[in-house]
Amino acid sequence: MLLDDADYMDRALHVAARGRGLTSPNPLVGAVVVSPDGVVVGSGYHRRAGEPHAEIHALRSAGVAARGATLFSTLEPCCHTGRTGPCVDRIVKAGVARVVIGVEDPHPQVHGEGIRFLREHGIAVTVGVREAEATRMNLPFFIHTQRGRPLVMMKVALTRDGYVAEAPGVRSAITAERAGHDSHSLRAEFDAVGVGSETVLVDDPELTARAVHRARPLTRVIFDSRLRVPPTAAIFGTRDAGPIVIVTTKVTLAGSPDRAAALEANGARLLPAQVHDVTSALMMLGSEGVTSLLLEGGPTLHAAAWRAGVVDRVRIYVSPLAFGDKGVRWFETRSTVTEALEDLDVRMVGPDERTDGYVYRND
């Protein structure tokens, strides 16, 4: 069977996925080197920020077979010197005849310049093969680069009648064990996990990624404009798992110096926003290098993020349980949220139904 550019780019995308959860703040990138007669002679992926890029691994794997070959890369090769040297120089020196790119790099130091460099050095370049898939794979990188904030994925567990708790102030188990493990696996892919202060007061979570492999520390973010979180919260007993960041306001800090000092003494880092606004808070996190945030609750924080238009992905677990009229409802009905999503993926995780989707926008 004859393979075309899309087939080889699919291979590069598959290779890139091996770096999931490892490369932030860098993007996921995969590359394959294909000989003139269509044989894959080398492949590689970006494994960790500061280490060689995917193209370098692929060229090393191909060796002398890279001369006259085609290099498929899911993202435009870099043309500047950061923690590693420019990939375009190595591509030219390897004697590659053609480069096929999934999507242009949005970073201002690269955007289109890598493509221009390759063409100026006599290499044929094709851009936009599997562009949608290559962009989707790196939404955190694209959003952080273009908007200055992290990608936000809103995650919630609901009963079949739409509740997140049995009653106000009551910690409530909703999903079964398999969904819990699935949720922890999701945490392992993100830079940070975030909750509101009410969630900490009611559920007292540790916000760690348990029973899954995670190569980097997980930043735990608490949105607490009033500094209600006590320094005795369980999360402060897990400081080795990753940084603990409390997003508050400058006014609150000025008015509560003792509470702020107690939280800092227990390991919290306080980030004061100028205004009490979820978008401003996300921009602050973006400036701290957070490229992806898993927003786990509760309803008030979810509502603020949804209405501000900063939610990019959604995951909803629905259990067969029902809590009845005394329960705490989510901020919106499940159907209203899912109607605003595209590329829905619905599957069963044990007895619970899981729905994933991307928020549809025209921008």
Enumerate the active-site residues.
55
Helix (H, G, I), strand (E, B), or coil: what is residue 280?
helix
Question: Within 13 Å and on the Cβ side, how many CA atoms surround 302?
Answer: 24
* Cα(232)–Cα(280) distance, integer angstroms: 28
Look at residues 70, 144, 152 and name the one whose alpha carbon lies nearest to residue 105.
144
Look at residues 312, 322, 305, 308 and name the one whose alpha carbon lies nearest to residue 359.
312
* Cα(114)–Cα(124) distance, integer angstroms: 12
Helix (H) or strand (E) holding 115, with range, is helix 113-120
Question: Residue 122 burial (CB < 10 Å; 0-12/13-18/19+)?
Answer: exposed
